[in-house]
Amino acid sequence: MQMKSSLVLGLLLVCSQSEIAYADWYKSTAEPSLVVRDAPDVGAAKVGNVPVDGKVDVLERVGKEESIGGNSGHWVKIQWKDKTAYAFDAFLTPIADDVSEPQERSASSTKSKSASGKALSVDDVLDKVYEGFDAKNNCRRYHSDQPDYHYCMKVDQVDTLTTEEGVRTYVLLSGSMTNAAGESGSHVDAGLVGALIIGEGKNGAEIIAGDPNISIGAFGSGPTKWEFIKLGPSNYWGWKNTWGDAHQGIGGSRYSILAPYGKKIQELAGFVESYSDEGNCDEANGCKATSYETALEIDSTQISEKVFPLAITVTGKEKGKSIPEKTWKLPFDSKAWAYVEPQNWPLKGLDF
């Protein structure tokens, strides 16, 4: 393990918390969380909270030994969630390189082979992206804007491709909001999805493109059972799914198509899959309900396009009258890097 500050006496000594030999990664032991501040002082502004077992990258020790709440230690400068901040190291413990993964993680532990034959550890990347492993729920933590809640992120889909640039591992995670009591998110809370494309870099596995926190879903839960799909002729791949919601008798669902755009992951779709206002329409009193159903296909015959267009067949009824089945073509706009709803698209602007 590369040490940023160490005491060498012919062998590496195991240090106490106040004599910690700094490694790249440490985990929080504070219950329920470790306060992170913008300066090395207990009165400094709070930047955030690292949950128990959440990981931080310790950069250096700052100042003299102090005692806070009866715990002796030093302030340390850390890198956390792309921020530089400060934490008290009495509540940090080093993570050894050779520590075995918990048994519960074996189901989601994934490795792929690079062109050189070297194993690329997806778990290593996920450990750096997310905020600690929840062994009880077999998931990784990601913070929520709701106090005392976090997202429990589980690997939903892993696919590996061999490209001209090397091996690429596509990882899709779905997250549900929860708290220490096991309570779920509410009706108004969005779910969370993480989408990452991992390849081999100079120092092992690295993210080629990705976004660990994409708001998709309802009732605090991200959609699961994503489909890995080819979206373009030149090894352009992504994920497809649908998710639904309902308010005051009006319900429906939306398509979601996620794919890389530069180093990020972009939502290419987001338009309505199905819609019905029947729950808010009393036909006995003369109300005429509207409902739509659709079926989506990717037109992979258009190999001259950067991204394949979509063909969506629409059926249903408008104000009580059946509409003829019709297939609509949805082209891809390479400037907006998203699919475009055509003129007179019957589902345009519908909400639920």
- pLDDT, tens digit, for every residue of 248-293? 889 999 999 999 999 999 999 999 999 999 898 887 788 999 999 9
How much is the pLDDT for 281? Answer: 87
Greater model confidence, 3 or 36? 36
Is 247 a residue whose pLDDT tops 60? Answer: yes
Handedness of CA 111, 112, 117, 118 (dihedral sign): negative
Query: Residues in the chain, how many?
Result: 352
pLDDT of residue 110: 52
User: Has residue 115 got a pLDDT over 80?
Assistant: no
Residue 13 pLDDT class (50, 70, 90 cuts): very low
**249 and 349 both lie in a single domain:** yes
Is-contact 228 237, C-beta < 8 A?
yes
Please tell me whether residues 141 and 87 are part of one structural domain.
no
Q: How many domains does the chain have?
A: 3
Specify the DSSP class assigned to residue 21: -
Query: Is residue 187 in some structural domain?
Result: yes
DSSP 308-333: --EEEEEEEEETTEEEEEEEEEE-EE
Are residues 212 and 238 located together in one domain of the fold? Answer: no
On whether both 43 and 83 belong to a single domain, the answer is yes
Q: Mean pLDDT throughout 216-243? A: 94
Query: How many whole angstroms separate alpha carbon 45 and alpha carbon 43?
Result: 7
Mean pLDDT over all residues of the chain? 83
Co-location of 237 and 338 in the same domain: yes
Backbone angles phi, psi at 19, to 5 degrees: -120, 35
Same domain flag for 271 and 304? yes
Residue 130's identity, in one-letter code, is Y
Q: Average pLDDT of 175-179?
A: 93
Is pLDDT of 20 > 60?
no
Band of residue 154 on the pLDDT scale cut at 50, 70, 90: very high
pLDDT digits (tens, 9 = 90+) for 42-53: 888 888 888 887
Domain boundary among 46, 67, 94: 94
Residue 1 inside a domain? The answer is no
13 or 123, higher pLDDT: 123
Most confident of 11-20, 119-128, 154-163: 154-163
Q: State the DSSP code for 90.
A: G
What confidence category does residue 132 fall into, taking pLDDT thresholds of 50, 70 and 90? confident
**Distance between CA atoms of 240 and 188, rounded to whole angstroms?**
23
Torsion sign, CA atoms 213, 215, 217, 219: positive
Q: What are phi and psi of 103, to 5 degrees?
A: -60, -35
What is the extent of the structural domain holding 65? 17-94
Residue, of 194 and 182, whose pLDDT is higher: 194
240 located within any domain: yes
With respect to residue 303, please indicate whether it lies within any of the assigned structural domains. Answer: yes
How far, in Å, CA of 136 to CA of 144, rounded?
19
The answer to whether residue 6 sits within a structural domain is no
Shared domain for 270 and 338, answered yes or no, is yes
Higher pLDDT, 145 or 110: 145
pLDDT given at position 45? 85
Which pLDDT band, with edges at 50, 70 and 90, does 82 fall under?
Answer: low
Question: Nearest to residue 44, comparing CAs of 88, 100, 101?
Answer: 88
Is the predicted pLDDT of residue 9 greater than 60, yes or no?
no
Q: What is the mean pLDDT of residues 138-156?
A: 91
Q: What whole-number percentage of the chain has pLDDT above 70?
A: 86
Task: Work out the pLDDT band at 24, boundaries 50, 70, 90.
Answer: low
Looking at residue 98, what is its pLDDT? 35
pLDDT band at 227 (very low <50, low <70, confident <90, very high): very high
From 40, 73, 94, give the residue that closes a domain.
94
More confident residue, 93 or 299: 299
pLDDT category, 79, cuts 50, 70, 90? confident
Do 245 and 269 fall within a single domain? Answer: yes
Domain stop point among 206, 225, 244: 225
**Residue 242 β-bridge partners:** 255
Q: Confirm whether 236 is domain-assigned.
A: yes
Is residue 321 located within the same domain as residue 207? no
Same domain (yes/no): 83, 111: no
As a whole number of angstroms, the distance between CA 255 and CA 273 comes to: 6
Query: Is the domain of 172 the same as that of 194?
Result: yes
**Of the candidate ranges 60-74, 151-165, 278-292, the one whose mean pLDDT is the lowest:** 60-74
pTM given for the model:
0.67
What is the domain-level CATH number for residue 74?
2.30.30.40
Residues 202 and 173 in one domain: yes
Task: Give the pLDDT band (50/70/90) at residue 175.
Answer: very high
40 DSSP assignment: S
Whether residue 302 lies inside any domain: the answer is yes
Q: Other CB atoms closer than 10 Å to residue 257's CB: what's the count?
A: 23
- Whether 100 is covered by a domain: the verdict is no
